[in-house]
């Protein structure tokens, strides 16, 4: 088994700054968070950005500034979210790829998302996948339900491997409408991942109360970790999360206990087929 790639997902599109003051929403807050999480052991950052009023945005200028700012401040692999918020139009989500990230997310199907719907039509998925191939962007295939792994198998069979030739998926578990954040569901996914191209890697994140079971199950089955305030706002019963660094530090501690210490960003680039900097 390799070391553990730790992704920090610091912001997301769902929480409001007024409700969660520690959420990084400005570029300055994001770069400070990124630097501190890198120092602790993160190697990838999954990025959603906000506007001047801290609302989710896919503004192209801001996306470009964010990619440039994070690359200047850290060695982290910059992965832009193409998921955005449930309200973002497909055209804006596709245009995220124009901002020049090294990686971008690519969700493998439509899922109920609380009271909303996170829409990912087949043609849209194909558009993301093929544009990323053309532009040299490495996808992280986001999986919200078991059957989406079968859709990924179909996508790769019809349209070929992603840029770099390596397949990496992220299991997003515990969204109301998707698969549960349990060890059992993670093991079911891990079995299904065996049907994907040899060497496929996965990371996993459990939303809310799924955080700890998913993290422990992922480490036990050779998976990697995504943590951060996009997914987790309660550290322990009755204790709100204080910062993204607190969540990364906990993940690093578990990875070390599992004798799979965090990878460096350079090692993560090599594992994922992201060109070295
Ligand atoms: N905000 C969710 C609707 C992604 O980043 O690619 C979608 C999401 C997935 O967070
Ligand atoms: Zn996201």
pLDDT in tens, 149-202: 999 999 999 999 999 999 999 999 999 999 999 999 999 999 999 999 999 999
Q: Model's pTM, two decimal places? A: 0.98
pLDDT on residue 125: 99
Give the rounded percent of residues in the chain with a pLDDT score beyond 90. 99
Q: Percentage helix, strand, coil, to 5, in the chain?
A: 40, 20, 40
- Residue 133 near residue 243, CB atoms below 8 Å: no
The torsion angles phi and psi of 258, rounded to 5 degrees, stand at -80, 0
- Using the mean position of ligand 2's atoms as its centre, give its distance from the Cα of residue 126 in Å: 19
* Neighbour-count burial for 228-247, b at 16+ CB within 10 Å, e otherwise: bbbbbbeeeeeeebebbbbb
Which atom of ligand 1 is least distant from the CA of 230?
10
**Interior CA angle at 75 toward 198 and 61, to 5°?**
100
Going by alpha carbons, the residue nearest to atom 8 of ligand 1 is 83
Work out the mean pLDDT of the chain and round it to a whole number: 98
For a mutational test of ligand 1's pocket, the pick from 106, 128, 139, 142, i.e. the residue with the most ligand atoms closer than 8 A to its C-beta, is 142
Phi-psi region of 172 (alpha: psi -120 to 50; beta: other; left: phi over 0): beta
| 11 in contact with ligand 1, CB cutoff 6 A | no
pLDDT at 225 over 90: yes
- Residue 225 near residue 237, CB atoms below 8 Å: no
pLDDT on residue 244: 98
Over residues 257-263, the mean pLDDT reads: 98
Which atom of ligand 1 is least distant from the CA of 82?
6
pLDDT on residue 188: 98
The pairing of strands 168-173 and 44-47 is unpaired
**Cα atoms in the 13 Å half-sphere on the side-chain side of 264:** 7
How far apart (Å, rounded) are the C-alpha atoms in residues 231 and 134?
31
- Using the mean position of ligand 1's atoms as its centre, give its distance from the Cα of residue 83 in Å: 4
In which band, very low, low, confident or very high, does the pLDDT at 260 lie, cut at 50, 70 and 90? very high
Nearest ligand for residue 81 CA: 1
| 85 in contact with ligand 1, CB cutoff 6 A | yes
Q: What is the pLDDT of residues 2-59, one digit of tens each?
A: 899 999 999 999 999 999 999 999 999 999 999 999 999 999 999 999 999 999 999 9
Which atom of ligand 1 is least distant from the CA of 106?
6
Over residues 119-146, the mean pLDDT reads: 98
pLDDT at 119 over 80: yes
For a mutational test of ligand 1's pocket, the pick from 7, 11, 12, i.e. the residue with the most ligand atoms closer than 8 A to its C-beta, is 12
Q: Is 13 helix (H, G, I), strand (E, B) or coil?
A: coil
Give the rounded percent of residues in the chain with a pLDDT score beyond 70. 100
Q: What is the pLDDT of residues 70-94, one digit of tens each?
A: 999 999 999 999 999 999 999 999 9
| 81 in contact with ligand 1, CB cutoff 6 A | yes
pLDDT at 116 over 80: yes
Which atom of ligand 1 is least distant from the CA of 113?
3
In which band, very low, low, confident or very high, does the pLDDT at 106 lie, cut at 50, 70 and 90? very high
| 4 in contact with ligand 1, CB cutoff 6 A | no
| 203 in contact with ligand 1, CB cutoff 6 A | no
Over residues 122-148, the mean pLDDT reads: 98
Question: In terms of Cα–Cα distance, which of 67, 82, 75, 73 is closest to 32?
Answer: 73
In which band, very low, low, confident or very high, does the pLDDT at 62 lie, cut at 50, 70 and 90? very high
């Amino acid at each position: 088994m390799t070391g553990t790639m730790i992704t920090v997902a610091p912001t997301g599109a769902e929480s409001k700054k007024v409700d969660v003051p520690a959420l990084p929403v400005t570029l300055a807050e994001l770069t400070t968070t990124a630097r501190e999480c890198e120092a602790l052991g993160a190697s990838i950052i999954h990025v959603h950005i906000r506007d001047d009023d801290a609302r989710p945005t896919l503004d192209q200028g801001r996306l470009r500034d964010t990619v440039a700012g994070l690359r200047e401040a850290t060695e982290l692999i910059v992965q832009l979210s193409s998921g955005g918020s449930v309200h973002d139009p497909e055209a804006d989500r596709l245009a995220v790829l124009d901002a020049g990230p090294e990686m971008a997310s690519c969700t493998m199907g439509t899922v109920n998302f609380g009271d909303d719907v996170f829409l990912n039509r087949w043609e849209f998925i194909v558009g993301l996948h093929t544009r990323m191939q053309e532009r040299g962007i490495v996808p992280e295939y986001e999986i919200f339900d078991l059957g989406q792994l079968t859709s990924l198998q179909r996508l790769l069979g019809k349209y070929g491997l992603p840029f770099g030739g390596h397949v990496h998926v992220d299991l997003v578990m515990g969204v109301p409408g998707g698969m549960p954040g349990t060890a059992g569901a993670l093991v079911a996914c891990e079995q299904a991942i065996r049907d994907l191209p040899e060497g496929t890697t996965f990371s996993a994140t459990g939303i809310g109360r799924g955080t700890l079971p998913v993290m422990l199950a992922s480490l036990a089955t050779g998976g990697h970790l995504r943590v951060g305030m996009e997914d987790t706002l309660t550290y322990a019963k009755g204790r709100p999360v204080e910062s993204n660094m607190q969540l990364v530090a906990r993940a690093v501690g578990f990875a070390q206990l599992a004798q799979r210490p965090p990878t460096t960003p350079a090692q993560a680039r090599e594992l994922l087929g992201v060109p070295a900097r």
